């Protein structure tokens, strides 16, 4: 290419002169416009990365007055009957930690994704001090915290168990659960 050649959309005619092809100018302008739009994006600052709320894998936990225990329990109970799905994190299907993470996220409380990590957040409370909205942890299929539910009161909790396949309420005093109870954590104010 020489300095006298056009950049694009042109060809030499029989007499050796340069001529533009029909439609090539419009195509060139449309291409430039598309590039400008694509590179502009919608971020208000350079390097900004928009993030949806909540960010489940952010590794941080936020607690506060925006998560009243009664609302946490009401939301959890409203999801009774939702199917169990291993790895599930929404009403189409939950596993136990996906269920607790989803419920708390409705109130801008970000919990870690895994049960064992949820067991490390909040304040430890004794079984006699369990309040509505506390997380209850159990040792079921692996050592340590391997199952989690949300306390409704001192006697009952709601969770997403793999057996019977739906979010449901259980009694903490039931033999299966009482033998496997590991501890409780308070994430919200009582």
User: Is 11 among the catalytic positions?
Assistant: no
Catalytic option among 11, 28, 42, 147: 147
User: Is 159 among the catalytic positions?
Assistant: yes
| Residue of 99, 95, 174 whose CA lies nearest to 141 | 95
User: Is 28 among the catalytic positions?
Assistant: no
CB contact at 8 A, 18 and 12: yes
- Cα–Cα distance between 104 and 72 in angstroms, integer? 7
Tell me the catalytic residues. Answer: 96, 147, 159
């Amino acid at each position: 290419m020489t300095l006298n050649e056009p950049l694009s959309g042109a060809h030499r005619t029989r007499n050796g002169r340069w001529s533009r092809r029909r439609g090539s100018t419009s195509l060139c302008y449309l291409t430039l416009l598309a590039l400008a739009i694509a590179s502009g994006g919608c971020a208000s600052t350079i390097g900004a990365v928009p993030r949806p709320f909540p960010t489940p894998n952010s590794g941080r936990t936020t607690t506060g007055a925006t998560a009243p225990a009664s609302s946490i329990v009401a939301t959890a109970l409203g999801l009774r009957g939702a199917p169990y799905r291993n790895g599930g994190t929404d009403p189409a299907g939950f596993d136990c930690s996906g269920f607790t993470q989803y419920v708390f996220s409705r109130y801008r409380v970000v919990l870690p994704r895994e049960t064992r990590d949820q067991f490390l957040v909040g304040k430890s409370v004794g079984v006699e001090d369990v309040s509505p909205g506390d997380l209850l942890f159990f040792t079921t299929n692996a050592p340590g915290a391997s199952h989690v539910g949300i306390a409704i009161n001192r006697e009952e909790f709601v969770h997403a168990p793999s057996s019977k396949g739906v979010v449901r309420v259980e009694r903490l005093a039931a033999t299966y659960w009482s033998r496997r109870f590991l501890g409780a954590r308070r994430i919200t104010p009582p």
